[in-house]
Structure 1
Amino acid sequence: MRIELAGRWPLLRRLRLVEPAAGSLILDARRLTFASPLDLAAMVALARSAEAGGDRVRLIAPRDHNVTSYLERLDVISNLPVGAEVVGALAGGPRADRADSLLEVAHLTPDDADRLLDRLGRVFTSRYGPRGRRYFAAVGELVDNAISHGRSDLGAFIAAQVYTGTTSGRPGIEFAVCDTGIGVRAHLSRNLANEVPADDVAALKTALRPGVTGTQEERGHGLNDLWRAVPETGFARLQLRSGKGLASVVGHGGTRRPRCVLDEVDVPGTWAWLRVRPY
Structure 2
Amino acid sequence: MSALTLSDTSTWLPLDGLAPGFDANKAEPSGDLAGRTVTLVDERGTRIVHRFGADSVEWEYQPGPADTIPASSGTDPYEAFEVDTGLYFAQFHHQHQPDEAVSLVLDLTNGRALSVIQGIGDQFPGTTAVRQLFVPSLIDGIETTGAEPAPTTALIGRRVMWVYSSQHAYEHVYLSPQWYTWQCLAGPEKGLADTDENSVWQIRPGIYVFTWREKVIPCASVTIADHRNVRSIRSHGVLFGLDESGEVPTHFTFGAYGRLLSNTVHPEPYDPAVGATEGASGAGADSAGGSADAAGATR
TM-score (ref. length: structure 1): 0.28
Whose helix fraction is larger, Structure 1's or Structure 2's? Answer: 1
Bigger RCO (CA 8 Å, 6+ sep): 2
Whose strand fraction is larger, Structure 1's or Structure 2's? Answer: 2
TM-score (ref. length: structure 2): 0.27
